[in-house]
Amino acid sequence: QVQLVESGGGLVQPGGSLRLSCAVSGHIGQTDWMYWVRQGPGTGFEWVAAFYTKTNTTNYGDFVKGRFTISLDKAKNMMYLQMNRLQSEDAAVYHCALTRGPTLVRRTIPLATYSYWGQGTQVTVSP
């Protein structure tokens, strides 16, 4: 069993930066995909960054490519999302999530479809 707890959200100005953290309680497997999933106002869920533990492969949504970086510290059971040059469109509740196995899920699946997910941390982008 896995528990995921996010932290690090807050209020930033456009162009600012935040680093989100996800504390993982439980086993991170050698063939897991880990994700940062966000839900903005009036939108569904979408993962913005994904990390494959077997190969350290990373994938990013088009709107955050080049601005966000996902990383995993396996020794500390911590996952991070470094967010730079934040835009108003990035305002959302950000969740960390995990799926078992080698398949990268579609970007817009419901949060409850993931094997495990956290309750999220809110990111607000405002002047």
For residues 4 and 116, the answer to whether their CB atoms sit within 8 Å is yes
Ordered per-residue pLDDT tens for the chain, 127 residues = 899 999 999 999 999 999 999 999 998 999 999 999 999 988 899 999 999 999 999 999 999 999 999 999 999 999 999 999 999 999 999 999 999 999 999 999 999 999 999 999 999 999 9
* Strand order through the sheet with 18-25: 3-7, 18-25, 78-83, 68-73
| Cross-strand bridge partners of residue 78 | 23, 73
**Local structure of 78: helix, strand or coil:** strand
> Which residues neighbour 19 within 8 Å (Cβ) at sequence distance 6 or greater?
8, 80, 81, 82, 83
What span, in angstroms and rounded, lies between the C-alpha atoms of 122 and 76? 23
For residues 90 and 83, the answer to whether their CB atoms sit within 8 Å is yes
Q: Which residue in 124, 115, 71 sits closest to 94, CA to CA?
A: 124
Q: Is 93 left (phi over 0), alpha (psi -120 to 50) or beta?
A: beta
The pLDDT, as a whole number, for residue 42 is 85
> Which residues neighbour 22 within 8 Å (Cβ) at sequence distance 6 or greater?
4, 5, 6, 7, 36, 78, 79, 80, 81, 96, 118
